[in-house]
Amino acid sequence: MFRRTSRRLRADGWKQVHHDVRIKRTRWCVLRWPNPSMAQMAEMSTEAFEDFFFDVCTLDYRQMSRAMQPLKQLMEKTDRVALKGPRDTDLSFSIKGIPAIPCDGR
């Protein structure tokens, strides 16, 4: 009996109430707020994570986009990239023909 009622509720009520009425007629505003759980996942103190979070939220993305243009132009005319680092890190590869797409918030 319960399963039949539950199925019927999903079929008749859920769609009508949630999809046809609530979702279409509600103005949504989703807000993420920094919290201790998010700070823990980032392996940061809550205070340090809050500072990071709000710095990112208030970043001037237009300015960042302009600042990325010289690197984009350099990458577009570059063939070989070499990365060298500690512990025998020595990588080289070609980026020729790969589009340089700035990740600037757009």
Instruction: Select from 44, 66, 63 the least CA-distant residue to 53.
Output: 44
d(CA 97, CA 79): 8
At 22 the pLDDT is 73
Considering only residues 27 and 58, tell me which one the structure prediction assigns the higher pLDDT. Answer: 58
Task: Give the dihedral sign, CA 29/60/56/104.
Answer: positive
The average confidence (pLDDT) of the chain is 87
Between 21 and 92, name the one with better pLDDT.
92
Rounded average pLDDT over 87-95: 94
E strand intervals along the chain? 80-85, 89-94
Q: What is the pLDDT of residues 55-78, one digit of tens each?
A: 988 989 899 999 999 999 999 999
CB 79 within 8 A of CB 95: yes
Is 60 exceeded by the pLDDT of residue 35?
A: yes
Q: 88: which 2 tokens?
A: 């025998």
Cα R_g (the chain), whole angstroms = 25
